[in-house]
């Protein structure tokens, strides 16, 4: 059954419109996308491919690239008759420490959010003050914590002395230094997770909470069975940003220990930088190979994140 | 509301909560308080071993004065500004357009392009480092603010497009259909219908990108090397070697370096948090 539209179609009344006009709906999105796509392709997509390519070469960044096949990877992973690159092993294990310990930001953030989710006077001020370490640059956070850890001038040892402990030289001790840096990183990261959870808690359905209360649920049972399921989107984002943040850790290490003492605080991202732009000469090929390994480490997580987002996207339509 | 509102709890807990709040805050900000305390002390306090006590005299003016008048700090701050502002404008402009295209139009590769933008945003910087540095050197933009700005715009476009597209998706679509029925050109729909509705998203993104770029360190050390182009995050290392072991000056310097994004956050708190927590609630 065909009914003519109430509004006369403008398309039919202009038979001689230009090619652009006729295809406007199809072309416009591409015109709007073009600048962003060019920028993104030139600076992000193509370089990923180039890094793979460079990782099969020996290159000082200036002269000709010399093809070496998989030699860089063999040296890195110790394939054949050589040992695994010791610096790489240290970096890799430190990366794992970062990944695991950095996730503590999520429960810590949730804890602070629960503590602050009240409506007393001045609570807005407290929320902002708890959050604002996140806004400070990692370089300054690194400096602040390295002064906090100073064996003589640092406040940490002064506090420890009150409890009769210490003094410790955290950043000078190869077994402690990495943990000291991770603690510094946890500070802003916890603030970030806190704000995610505060927003999430704000949107928790009050009727469900009341209903659960009438059923006698309270305390951790309420938290686990009623509140946390509703905080799932916040937890997902907290998880994404924390994982990405852990694997990107570079600024803090560079500022606080510069990889030391005795190379004990290196992570892959730092080691890669060191190899590529070190004072001992630019080993871009080897650096690129480390970056590729880091990329694959991250790819697992990226795939999972994208898959979850894709599922939501499909569910929304 | 969870946890139980304070009004409905016991009197003891109400009082202990009010006492706990400031104590927790002080513990939370302890490292920062120590540095702020450092920055207003006179040098003699460090010689006498008065590290964490009350300053023997209030020397904030002379310490911060030195930062502004006897170092390269103002230069670095200006560099940061000249890197951050164009990046904010560029990234927001590009992603507005891309977000419009991906949020409004249905075409086959829509979701694929959208996911490429998101994926690129998660990639470790290091895999881009060597090629981007090479590209910047070849364009004669190494150690210039422009080189840094171009890269930042490109990289931030990923996150911004994700943000803008989701925001535009949530706008009432009948509005756009109505405009189309009126025969309004598509680019005019973008300019006069969609863009005015995006003001909150624009504000939120602008403050977020400002903070991210101001705080960037990695690309600053990869793409620049001297006081002509380096932003303050990288310049602070030079500042610290100038005043080696002068903790009162180094801490004043880092407070100055950290301040602009902090000020931005406190001024634009609502937008900042709205931007950061986008997607935390469904």
> How far is residue A5's CA from residue A214's CA, in Å, rounded to a whole number?
55
Selection from A89, A296, A55 nearest residue B129 by Cα? A55
Series of mean pLDDT values for 10-residue runs along chain B (282 residues) = 84 92 94 90 84 84 90 93 96 95 91 92 90 93 94 94 92 90 90 92 93 94 91 90 86 93 92 84 66
pLDDT of residue A6: 52
Q: pLDDT band at A317, cuts 50/70/90?
A: low
Q: Does B5 touch chain A (CB under 8 A)?
A: yes
Q: What is the DSSP string of B56-95?
A: SS--HHHHHHHHHHSSSHHHHHHHHHHHHHHHHHHHHHHH
Answer yes or no: is pLDDT of A18 > 90: no
Domains and CATH numbers, chain B: 6-62 (no CATH), 71-276 (1.10.3720.10)
pTM to 2 decimals? 0.90
pLDDT of residue B183: 87
Domains and CATH numbers, chain A: 86-276 (1.10.3720.10)
pLDDT digits (tens, 9 = 90+) for A34-82: 999 999 999 999 999 999 999 999 888 788 888 888 888 988 888 877 7
Answer yes or no: is pLDDT of A7 > 80: no
Q: Does A160 touch chain B (CB under 8 A)?
A: no
pLDDT of residue A26: 85
Residue B56 is encoded by which pair of tokens? 């023997």
pLDDT of residue B208: 93
Task: Name, in order, each residue with C-beta under 8 angstroms of B132's C-beta and a sequence gap of 6 or more.
Answer: A43, A47, B151, B222, B223
> How far is residue B207's CA from residue B203's CA, in Å, rounded to a whole number?
6
Record: contact A152-B51, CB cut-off 8 A: yes
Residues 85-104 of A with CB under 8 A from B: none
pLDDT digits (tens, 9 = 90+) for A230-239: 999 999 999 9
pLDDT of residue A25: 83
- HEC readout, A169-213: CHHHCCCCHHHHHHHHHHHHHHHHHHHHHHHHHHCCCHHHHHHHH
Nearest to B187 among A28, A61, A135 (CB): A28
pLDDT digits (tens, 9 = 90+) for A282-300: 889 999 999 999 999 889 9
Q: pLDDT band at A191, cuts 50/70/90?
A: very high
Residues 219-238 of B with CB under 8 A from A: 221-222, 233, 236-237
Nearest CA in chain B to A313: B111
Please state, rounded to an integer, the average pLDDT across all residues of chain A: 88
pLDDT of residue A1: 42
pLDDT digits (tens, 9 = 90+) for A120-169: 888 999 999 999 899 999 999 999 999 999 888 888 888 888 888 878 89
pLDDT of residue B45: 85
Strand partners, A175: none
């Amino acid at each position: 059954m065909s009914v003519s539209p109430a509004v006369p179609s403008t398309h039919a009344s202009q038979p001689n419109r230009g090619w652009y006009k006729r295809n406007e709906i199809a072309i416009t999105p591409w015109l709007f996308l073009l600048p962003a796509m060019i920028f993104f392709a030139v600076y992000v997509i193509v370089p990923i491919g180039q890094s793979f390519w460079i990782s099969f070469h020996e290159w000082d960044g200036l002269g000709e690239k010399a093809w070496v096949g998989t030699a860089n990877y063999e040296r890195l992973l110790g394939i054949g008759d050589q040992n695994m690159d010791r610096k790489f092993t240290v970096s890799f294990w430190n990366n794992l420490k970062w990944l695991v310990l950095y996730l503590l930001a999520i429960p810590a953030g949730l804890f602070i959010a629960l503590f602050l989710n009240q409506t007393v006077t001045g609570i807005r001020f407290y929320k902002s003050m708890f959050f604002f370490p996140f806004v400070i640059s990692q370089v300054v956070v690194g400096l602040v914590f390295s002064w906090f850890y100073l064996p003589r001038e640092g406040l940490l040892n002064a506090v420890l002395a009150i409890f009769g402990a210490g003094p410790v030289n955290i950043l000078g001790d190869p077994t402690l230094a990495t943990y000291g840096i991770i603690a510094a990183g946890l500070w802003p990261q916890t603030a970030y997770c806190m704000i995610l959870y505060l927003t999430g808690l704000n949107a928790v359905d009050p009727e469900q909470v009341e209903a659960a209360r009438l059923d006698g649920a309270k305390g951790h049972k309420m938290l686990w069975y009623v509140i946390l399921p509703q905080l799932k989107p916040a937890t997902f984002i907290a998880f994404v940003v924390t994982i990405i943040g852990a694997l990107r850790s570079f600024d803090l290490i560079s500022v606080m220990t510069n990889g030391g003492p005795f190379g004990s605080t290196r992570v892959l991202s730092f080691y890669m930088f060191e190899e590529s732009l070190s004072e001992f000469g630019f080993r871009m090929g080897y650096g690129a190979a480390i970056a590729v390994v880091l990329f694959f480490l991250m790819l697992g997580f990226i795939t999972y994140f994208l898959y979850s987002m894709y599922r939501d996207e499909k569910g929304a339509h | 509301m969870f946890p139980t509102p304070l009004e409905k709890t016991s009197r003891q807990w109400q009082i202990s909560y009010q006492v706990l709040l400031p104590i927790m805050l002080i513990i939370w900000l302890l490292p920062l308080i120590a540095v702020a305390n450092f920055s207003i002390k006179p040098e003699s306090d460090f010689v006498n071993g008065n590290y964490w006590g009350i300053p023997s005299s209030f020397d904030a003016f002379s310490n911060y004065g030195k930062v502004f008048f006897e170092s390269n700090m103002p230069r670095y701050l200006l560099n940061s500004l000249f890197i951050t502002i164009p990046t904010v404008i560029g990234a927001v402009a590009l992603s507005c357009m891309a977000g419009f295209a991906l949020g409004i139009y249905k075409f086959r590769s829509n979701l694929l392009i959208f996911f490429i933008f998101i994926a690129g945003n998660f990639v470790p910087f290091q895999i881009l480092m060597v090629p981007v540095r090479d590209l910047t050197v070849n364009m004669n933009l190494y150690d210039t603010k422009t080189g840094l700005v171009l890269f930042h715009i490109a990289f931030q476009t990923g996150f911004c497009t994700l943000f803008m597209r989701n925001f535009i998706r949530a706008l009432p679509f009948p509005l756009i259909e109505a405009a189309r029925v009126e025969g309004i050109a598509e680019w005019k729909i973008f300019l006069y219908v969609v863009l005015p509705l995006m003001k909150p998203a624009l504000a939120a993104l602008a403050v977020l990108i400002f903070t991210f770029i101001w705080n960037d360190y990695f690309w600053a050390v990869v793409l620049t090397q001297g006081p002509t182009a380096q932003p303050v995050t990288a310049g602070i290392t030079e500042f610290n070697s100038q005043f080696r072991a002068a903790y009162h000056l180094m801490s004043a310097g880092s407070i100055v370096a950290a301040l602009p994004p902090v000020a931005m956050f406190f001024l634009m708190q609502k937008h900042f948090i709205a931007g950061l927590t986008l997607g935390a609630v469904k």
